[in-house]
Amino acid sequence: MKILIAYYSHSANTKKLAEIIAKVLKSEFQNVKIDFFYTEPEKPYSSNYNKVLEESKRDIKNNHKPKLKNNIASIDDYDVIFIGSPNWWNTMASPVGSFISSFDFSNKIIMPFCTHGGGGAGIIRTDIEKLTKSKQVGKILSVYGNTSSINNSESEIEKWIKNIKINVK
Ligand SMILES: Cc1cc2nc3c(=O)[nH]c(=O)nc-3n(C[C@H](O)[C@H](O)[C@H](O)COP(=O)(O)O)c2cc1C
């Protein structure tokens, strides 16, 4: 099984969750091959909290998909694609939208995941469904964005990925 874990992460919470997901996948499935792709925008969002709030709000409001610094060549070989994002204003961060918009995901099995600051997954899963046009989007894994919640998410991840195809609607 070939898996892609594509994610954006501004302050490393979603990155950490992506790494734990990969670790659990390796222990649950034999012969799994995992690639990561970080959807890094060409122009980074500010590291200043108030500024990134403004910048992200503007991009989401305008449905702006920032140009990515680089992209992968193809998604054809992947059996399952995990898509991760921080919850930004109740939806996914715009660079994740940029990535989704650059390929045809309509026949792909997608496992969405996010970290958040108390608002849960918001409408991230719905927006991923809309943008990918995939009928095979699994339940969203949503983890509170602090170190202990993320480090303690392994058993939740195990349950979430156990039956990837069963979870998929
Ligand atoms: C621009 C911005 C908008 C955010 N909007 C929300 C939100 O609407 N709801 C929520 O629960 N958390 C929100 N958060 C908190 C993040 O989702 C949370 O800190 C997350 O774990 C960050 O992940 P990251 O470290 O991978 O960037 C927001 C954070 C930022 C920077």
Q: What is the pLDDT of residues 9-26, one digit of tens each?
A: 999 999 999 999 999 999
CA dist., res. 142 & res. 17, Å (int): 10
Q: How confident is the model at residue 89 (pLDDT cuts 50, 70, 90)?
A: very high
pLDDT of residue 162: 83
Q: What is the pLDDT of residues 97-119, one digit of tens each?
A: 999 999 999 999 999 999 999 99
Number of domains in the chain: 1
What is the pairing mode between strands 141-144 and 80-88? Answer: unpaired
The pair of three-digit structure tokens given for residue 136, joined into one six-digit string? 């095979």
Checking if the pLDDT of 167 tops 80, the result is no
- Does residue 53 lie within any of the structural domains? yes
Which residue, judged by its Cα, is nearest atom 21 of ligand 1? Answer: 145
- Does residue 32 lie within any of the structural domains? yes
Q: What is the pLDDT of residues 143-160, one digit of tens each?
A: 999 999 999 999 999 999
CB atoms within 10 A of CB 28: 13
- Does residue 95 lie within any of the structural domains? yes
Q: Which atom of ligand 1 is nearest to the CA of 56?
A: 1
CA dist., res. 22 & res. 18, Å (int): 6
- Contact (Cβ atoms closer than 8 angstroms) between residue 45 and residue 56: yes
- Does residue 31 lie within any of the structural domains? yes
Q: What is the pLDDT of residues 49-68, one digit of tens each?
A: 999 999 999 999 999 999 99
Q: Does the C-beta of 44 come closer than 6 Å to ligand 1?
A: no
pLDDT of residue 169: 43
Q: Which CATH number goes with the domain that contains 13? A: 3.40.50.360
- Does residue 169 lie within any of the structural domains? no
- Does residue 79 lie within any of the structural domains? yes
Q: Does the C-beta of 144 come closer than 6 Å to ligand 1?
A: no
Q: Which atom of ligand 1 is nearest to the CA of 11?
A: 25
Percent of all residues in the chain with a pLDDT value above 70, rounded to a whole number: 97
Please give the distance, rounded to the nearest whole angstrom, from the Cα atom of residue 69 to the centre of ligand 1.
22
Checking if the pLDDT of 76 tops 90, the result is yes
Q: Which atom of ligand 1 is nearest to the CA of 145?
A: 21
- Does residue 168 lie within any of the structural domains? no
- For residue 84, the SS3 value is strand
Residue 22, domain extent: 2-163
CA 78 and chain centroid, separation: 15
pTM: 0.97
Which of 55, 88, 91, 149 maximizes ligand 1 atoms within 8 Å of its Cβ, making it the mutation to test the pocket?
A: 88
pLDDT, averaged across the chain: 96
- Does residue 46 lie within any of the structural domains? yes
